[in-house]
Amino acid sequence: MSILRIARLGHPVLRRVAEPLPPERLDDPEILRLFDDMIETVRESEGAGLAAPQVHVPLRIVVLNTDPAGGPLVIVNPEISFLDNHLLRSFEGCLSVPDLRAAVNRVGKVRVDGLDREGQSLSLDLEGFSAIAVQHECDHLDGVLFLDRCDLRTLAFLDELRRFGPLDPSFRRGGEPVGGGAPGGGDATPEESPPEPAPDTPPAEAAGAAAWSSPPLLLGRGSPAEG
Ligand code: NI
């Protein structure tokens, strides 16, 4: 197995729509090696997931690494369907966009259908962080990056994010769950304008890590924030 080189923002492979993997290629030693190498690469980089275009292979293959007990899972030709309208807002990163984080709204519960590495049909219902991660990875298959979906006002370098906290009032409300239903119970469109910070929030607290409501705020190498 090998650790593969990750394509970074600006490489055209990240903006291509990837091709489905013909199921007959599931016996191809080259494809089997790719599965193994993607698994080793996502483990080495401690990512939440990895999509084949990120390793310069424009095929519809993702590896999901959000189940510590189960280990990385290969999903071939994944298709996502949304199971509800509830949105989760979390800070995402990407192995192809090093050191940056930004808030993205994603559907909190999804189903992913596809094939496993043996070619067996696979259908998984995922919630929370796993649901976020699989949406992020499947976006890569369509040439979409989290930057395209993020609230740009929250975009931050990881060091600054750790130092000053999120530039996003919805993360600073003292433990209130982050995210919530889509506006008006509608679709998965991110909120257009996050609420202003409470006027009585001391600036130091508003900016400080201690004031974060933290569960979806998954940061950094060593935590499964990137994919
Ligand atoms: Ni990514």
The confidence score (pLDDT) of residue 172 equals 62
Distances 200 to 50, 169, 175, 222 between C-alpha atoms, Å: 42, 13, 16, 35
The confidence score (pLDDT) of residue 118 equals 95
The confidence score (pLDDT) of residue 168 equals 77
The confidence score (pLDDT) of residue 167 equals 80
Identify the domain containing residue 132 by its residue range.
12-211
Q: Which residue has the higher pLDDT, 137 or 182?
A: 137
pLDDT digits (tens, 9 = 90+) for 161-171: 999 988 877 77
pLDDT > 90 in the chain, percent: 69
The tokens for 190 are: 């991110």
The confidence score (pLDDT) of residue 190 equals 34
- Domain assignment present for residue 220? The answer is no
- The CA 175 to ligand 1 mean position distance, Å, reads 27
Tell me the HSE value of 60 on the side-chain side, using a 13 A CA sphere.
Answer: 19
The confidence score (pLDDT) of residue 179 equals 43
- Domain assignment present for residue 117? The answer is yes
- The CA 9 to ligand 1 mean position distance, Å, reads 10
Q: Which residue has the higher pLDDT, 203 or 87?
A: 87
- Domain assignment present for residue 201? The answer is yes
**Nearest partner of 56 among 4, 1, 17, judged by Cα:** 4
pLDDT reading at 220 higher than 50: no
Distances 110 to 18, 98, 138, 147 between C-alpha atoms, Å: 21, 27, 12, 21
pLDDT digits (tens, 9 = 90+) for 3-22: 999 999 999 999 999 999 99
- Domain assignment present for residue 5? The answer is no
Spatial separation of the C-alpha atoms in residues 111 and 29, rounded to whole Å = 29
- The CA 35 to ligand 1 mean position distance, Å, reads 17
pLDDT reading at 174 higher than 50: no
Q: Which residues are catalytic?
A: 137
The confidence score (pLDDT) of residue 171 equals 74
Average pLDDT over residues 113-141: 97
The confidence score (pLDDT) of residue 121 equals 98
- Domain assignment present for residue 138? The answer is yes
- The CA 25 to ligand 1 mean position distance, Å, reads 25
- Domain assignment present for residue 135? The answer is yes
- Domain assignment present for residue 165? The answer is yes
CATH code for position 104: 3.90.45.10
Backbone angles phi, psi at 100, to 5 degrees: -110, 150
Average pLDDT over residues 149-153: 95
- The CA 126 to ligand 1 mean position distance, Å, reads 18
- Report which residue type is found at 160: E
The confidence score (pLDDT) of residue 157 equals 96
- The CA 199 to ligand 1 mean position distance, Å, reads 35
- The CA 203 to ligand 1 mean position distance, Å, reads 32
The protein residues having their C-beta less than 5 angstroms from ligand 1 (an ion) are 94, 227
- For the chain, the domain total comes to 1
Cα–chain-centroid distance for residue 145?
Answer: 9
- The CA 98 to ligand 1 mean position distance, Å, reads 10
Rounded to the nearest integer, the mean pLDDT of the chain is 81
Q: Which residues contact 134 (CB under 8 A, 6 or more apart)?
A: 49, 62, 64, 75, 78, 80, 110, 112, 126
pLDDT digits (tens, 9 = 90+) for 22-69: 999 999 999 999 999 999 999 999 999 999 999 999 999 999 999 888
**pLDDT tier at 225, thresholds 50, 70, 90:** low
- Domain assignment present for residue 72? The answer is yes
